């Protein structure tokens, strides 16, 4: 059956029929992995589809090429490195290379980022390196060590993004090296990434970022710390986060209000109630505060929502929120009153 499929693919490729590449794909899909491995004929056919097929056909063949094994690496590298090749073909080749955790592949993908000739090609190389994962960490870290120049900043951002996407403990050390980077985008990426790890060195560094001059960094730190219920009491996270409810940036305030619900600290209800009751609190922040109190769902939180009913306006309460959280409200009067708040 495998030989028949391969012969059918060869015959289809030699014809002028517009369906020939679909037949080639179908035939190659019929081959077993053992039959595909290191098969030069199958590789030649696949590369023809990659260069001559339409987008859908190219997408399908891109799923097959990695099954051919290491025999596919050099032809793909040739495509990626050839500036005369159509850019879309180079994008696809770079994407496919993400399936091969080989040194020469990593080197080529890093080189694409360094040359920065096309932003989309660099983005695909970034995704491919992230897919390769831990074998790429050392090479990507080298990009972070480049001198800080206007030309290198984009590369360093991409390198930070790759490490963030890999999400492995081996990335912690290189990420820690750039947590205080002068570039705010890099700091934001690093803070978001480090928030995924339960390493004792990280929370104090995230707390320090709550006072970063850039709002995106502060917000990332708030989100990361609000997920650390395990150290909330030990590090008194509520008191560290509380000032961010009054941040100059509204999105930071909202992230803080929502984040406090995750800490499981009874005092969070008191803090959120003060924000909700204040006439100076923006409506968008009141909305986030209502959501947070609803998520907390304790009797004290529900009492706070009921107390706010008389001062809550239709534009303040999130629509249809109650229908999703009604099981959190107390029975009887509490349910009735909370419904009025949430359905305004």
- Is 313:327 a contact under the CB 8 Å cutoff? no
State how far the Cα of 329 lies from the Cα of 339, in Å rounded to an integer.
9
pLDDT tens by residue, the chain, 344 residues? 345 455 555 655 555 556 778 888 888 888 788 888 878 888 998 999 999 888 899 999 999 999 999 999 999 999 999 999 999 999 999 999 999 999 999 999 999 998 867 889 999 999 999 999 999 999 999 999 888 887 789 899 999 999 999 999 999 999 999 999 999 999 999 999 999 999 999 999 999 999 999 999 999 999 999 999 999 999 999 999 999 999 999 999 999 999 999 987 889 999 999 999 998 999 999 999 999 999 999 999 999 998 887 665 555 555 454 444 444 444 433 444 444 444 44
Which residues have CB under 8 Å from 207's CB, separation 6+? Answer: 221, 225, 235, 237, 240
Q: Can you tell me which residue has the tokens 């096309």?
A: 118
Give the other-Cβ count within 10 Å of 23's Cβ: 16
- Is 269:296 a contact under the CB 8 Å cutoff? yes
Q: Cα 257 to the chain's mean position, in Å? A: 23
Render pLDDT for 161-172 as a digit per residue (tens, 0 to 9).
999 999 999 999
According to the 3-state scheme, what is the secondary structure of 45-83?
HHHHHHHHCCHHHHHHHHHHHHHHHHHHHHHHHHHHHCC
Which residues have CB under 8 Å from 150's CB, separation 6+? Answer: none
- Is 139:161 a contact under the CB 8 Å cutoff? no
Fold of 198-260: 1.25.10
> What is the rounded (10 degree) CA torsion for 186, 189, 192, 196?
-110
- Boundaries of every domain in the chain: 1-80, 198-260, 266-344
- Is 124:132 a contact under the CB 8 Å cutoff? no
State how far the Cα of 82 lies from the Cα of 174, in Å rounded to an integer.
32
State how far the Cα of 344 lies from the Cα of 305, in Å rounded to an integer.
13
């Amino acid at each position: 059956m495998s030989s028949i499929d391969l012969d059918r693919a060869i015959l289809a490729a030699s014809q002028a029929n517009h369906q020939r590449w679909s037949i080639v794909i179908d035939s190659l899909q019929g081959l077993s992995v053992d039959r595909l491995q290191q098969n030069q004929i199958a590789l030649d056919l696949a590369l023809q589809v990659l260069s001559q097929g339409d987008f859908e056909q190219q997408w399908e063949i891109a799923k097959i090429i990695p099954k051919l094994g290491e025999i596919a690496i050099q032809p793909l590298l040739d495509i990626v490195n050839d500036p005369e090749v159509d850019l879309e073909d180079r994008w696809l080749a770079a994407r496919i290379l993400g399936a091969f955790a080989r040194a020469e592949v990593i080197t080529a993908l890093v080189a694409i980022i360094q040359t920065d000739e096309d932003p989309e090609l660099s983005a695909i190389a970034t995704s491919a390196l992230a897919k390769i994962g831990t074998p790429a960490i050392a090479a990507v870290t080298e990009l972070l060590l480049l001198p800080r120049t206007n030309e290198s900043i984009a590369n360093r951002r991409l390198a930070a993004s790759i490490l963030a996407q890999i999400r492995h403990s081996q990335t912690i050390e290189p990420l820690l090296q750039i947590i205080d980077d002068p570039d705010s985008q890099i700091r934001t990426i690093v803070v978001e990434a480090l928030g995924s790890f339960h390493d004792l060195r990280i929370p104090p560094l995230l707390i320090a970022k709550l006072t970063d001059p850039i709002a995106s960094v502060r917000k990332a730190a708030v989100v990361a710390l609000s997920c650390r219920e395990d150290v909330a009491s030990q590090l008194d996270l509520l008191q560290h986060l509380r000032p961010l409810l009054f941040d100059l940036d509204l999105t930071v305030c909202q992230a803080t209000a929502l984040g406090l619900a995750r800490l499981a600290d009874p005092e969070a209800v008191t803090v959120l109630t003060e924000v909700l009751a204040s006439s100076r609190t923006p409506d968008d922040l009141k909305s986030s505060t209502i959501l947070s109190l609803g998520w907390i769902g304790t009797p004290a939180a529900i009492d706070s929502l009921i107390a706010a009913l008389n001062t809550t306006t239709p534009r303040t309460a999130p629509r249809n929120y109650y229908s999703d959280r009604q099981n959190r409200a107390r029975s009887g009067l509490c349910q009735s009153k909370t419904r009025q708040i949430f359905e305004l």
